Structure 1
Amino acid sequence: MEFHDRLLFEEKPNDLLTIGELLIDLISDEYDDTFMTDSYTKYPGGAPSNIAINARKLGIRTQMASCVGEDGFGDYLLARLREEGMSTGFIQRSEEPTSLVAVSRSRSTPVPIFYRGADCQLVFSPPLEGAVLNSKAIHFSCWPISRLPSRRVVERVIDAARASGVRIGFDPNYHPMIWQRGEDGVAYVKSILAKADFVKPSEDDAERLFGPDTPENQLTKFLNYGAKLVILTLGKDGALVSNGKETREFPTMATDVADTTGAGDAFWSGFYSAAIKGYPLEKALKLGFAVSAYKLRFAGAIVPLPKLEDIKSQFVL
């Protein structure tokens, strides 16, 4: 993947399929990293839903596959997806409760508390396989691979995608608190890196996987494990991106930070949208960072995004 080239996608009926958690984000109403605040507001959450909804707003076709509980929170999440114009045909239901994450509103990296339930009960099915084969790209994170049975689903999805020329994006957001107990989650995540076309770790993700080191060395470690394109985000310091032959620095475009929740998901949304629309890789990356900067002006992960071309006109790229 050369920075000046357009990424190639096979022609498919759907542009992007995201797979994984659809859950409730409870975000504190005040800035407080101690969880001592008394009031929280619920938002629809989960990186796959955030990315699918935002990318749809930006102008590409998206679907998502997930599992929610047969409860009020599950009903709420399905209703919110429909309000956003999303299909719910690949959202399964489980007797387990809908998963939930409590997050303190933060201007830095938010500290979450996880309550796992239905999100890891996703099962593989012929309709899901069809959705994979009919998409140009698929996206997943560590959430669905951290527990069974959803891990086996993602493994089958990866195999189907690679066999049919579907691009694969992986967010290696490893956190020991979400991983299945008694397993070496770090080793498993490392084994997935070579199977993805795009990998976007944060600086915190890299430290959890490889230990403390310089950003340049962390980037090299991901490449050594077979990652093809590594996008290492560094918060206010921007990002380092490498295709294995060349490394480029990308400064942050954020000027107004109201809430960091979902900033990484917004990047993915912008990047996928731009790449699928035919922008060269370097421009697709810049548009991803522009969408992330636009999102940072708002609270919550789902924000009133305009079309990608409108965001492009607001930033110097």
Structure 2
Amino acid sequence: MNTKAIAQPPARVICLGEVLFDCLANELGKSASEITSWTPYPGGAPANVACALVKLGTSSAFIGCVGKDVRGHELVQLLQSVGVNIAGIQYNSQVPTRQVYVTRSISGDRTFAGFGDKRADQFADAYLQAQHLPPELFLEAEYLVLGTLELAYPQSRAAVFRALELADEYHLKIVLDVNWRPMFWRNEEEVLPLINQLWQYVDFLKLAEEEAQWLFDTTDAGAISYRLGSVEGVIVSNGDAQVSYCLSDNEGTVEPMKVSVKDTTGAGDAFLAGLIHQLCQHSTQKLQDPQLAQEIIRYACAVGGLTTTKPGAIAAQPSSAEVASFLQQNLC
């Protein structure tokens, strides 16, 4: 196992988890067995968030593990070219960089179709090493962004909880995007107990509607916030449908602006990046302003929506100028 230590500028947001290739089906409306060709696009939820943040103007770092292979080096070079701090990336020479196969419906909605001929735990991101997390990244950062996929494997799970220790030590706020993906887990009985261990750390929680229903028996962000008690924000999204939010004590809904959808891959990650970018622009005390709270969610919707207008997750992400222009054109 090798790690790469590179002196880089400090990041306001650390994103920890997987970076991978989403292999998108070139034919729409077909099952995986019917697809004859696939196109690989860089992705992985935490990496998507890290890249989208930089494009919006908020510095970020990515912590994760890739294979010591051509695909891994290509992904790291991409992150570096975007401007993401890569000092926390580890390399594993024993297992490859992850590839995920993704089918698409006629309307562009995606469905994960597995990992080819490998098991879920036979990829480098499952072997992120806790002892190699760089504490110096946490010294200057303000937010740590996590998903739940890395909880599926013993070594990356230990790295998640080590990151939470460092975040507590250096007073970072924790943003959790549940991002539930059953195919990443070999034992689904582990899922709920492990996710439940995270609630005590979380400051901001993002869920899809089905995740909210599964975990809390409601899709109302205010009810979830009340149930958890200690969070500063809860956001429940549902693709291009209404978003329910509770920021500070402000509850409400936002209807996303309509766009011409090409590919929904990474849209939720872009939405989350838009949210975090706005949190970095405003002190959390300002979330008590109802109008600002709604504007923050509307901004996040715009970032997510624009990302669906092009294929791929990272390549499709908008700049802050593009978001500003889109919001201006869609003034209520």
Q: TM-score, normalised by structure 1?
A: 0.87
Structure 1: 5+ residue stretches without partners: 1-11
Q: Is the 8 A contact 1:29 1:39 kept in 2?
A: yes
Matches within 5 A, 1:55-134: 55-94=53-92, 95-106=94-105, 107=107, 109-115=109-115, 116=120, 117-125=123-131, 128-134=134-140
**Secondary structure of residue in 1 paired with 2:31:** coil
Residue 21 of structure 1 and its aligned partner are, at CA, apart by 0.3
Code of the aligned partner of 2:27 = E
Q: Distance in 1 between matches of 2:158 and 2:21?
A: 24
Structure 1 residues 131-140 or 177-186, which shifts more?
A: 177-186
Residue 77 of structure 1 and its aligned partner are, at CA, apart by 1.4
Code of the aligned partner of 1:299 = P
**Secondary structure of residue in 2 paired with 1:133:** helix
Q: CA 1:76 to 1:307, structure 2 compared with 1: closer, same or farther past 3 Å?
A: closer
Residue 271 of structure 1 and its aligned partner are, at CA, apart by 1.2
Q: Distance in 1 between matches of 2:187 and 2:318?
A: 41
Structure 1 residues 147-156 or 306-315, which shifts more?
A: 306-315
Q: Distance in 1 between matches of 2:53 and 2:158?
A: 26
Structure 2: 5+ residue stretches without partners: 1-8, 284-291
Q: RMSD of the TM alignment (CA)?
A: 2.3
Q: Is the 8 A contact 2:309 2:316 kept in 1?
A: no
Q: Which has the higher relative contact order, 1 or 2, with Cα contacts under 8 A spaced 6 or more apart?
A: 1
Code of the aligned partner of 2:12 = D
2:300 aligns with 288
1:302 aligns with 314
**Secondary structure of residue in 1 paired with 2:84:** coil
Matches within 5 A, 1:96-175: 96-106=95-105, 107=107, 109-115=109-115, 116=120, 117-125=123-131, 128-175=134-181
Code of the aligned partner of 2:227 = N
Q: CA 1:244 to 1:284, structure 2 compared with 1: closer, same or farther past 3 Å?
A: closer
**Secondary structure of residue in 1 paired with 2:87:** coil
Between the two proteins, what is the percent identity of the paired residues? 28
Q: Give the one of 1, 12, 25 matched to 1:28.
A: 25
Matches within 5 A, 1:203-214: 203-210=209-216
Matches within 5 A, 1:266-285: 266-278=270-282, 280-285=292-297
Instruction: Work out the number of aligned pairs and report it.
Output: 303
Q: Distance in 2 between matches of 1:208 and 1:177?
A: 17
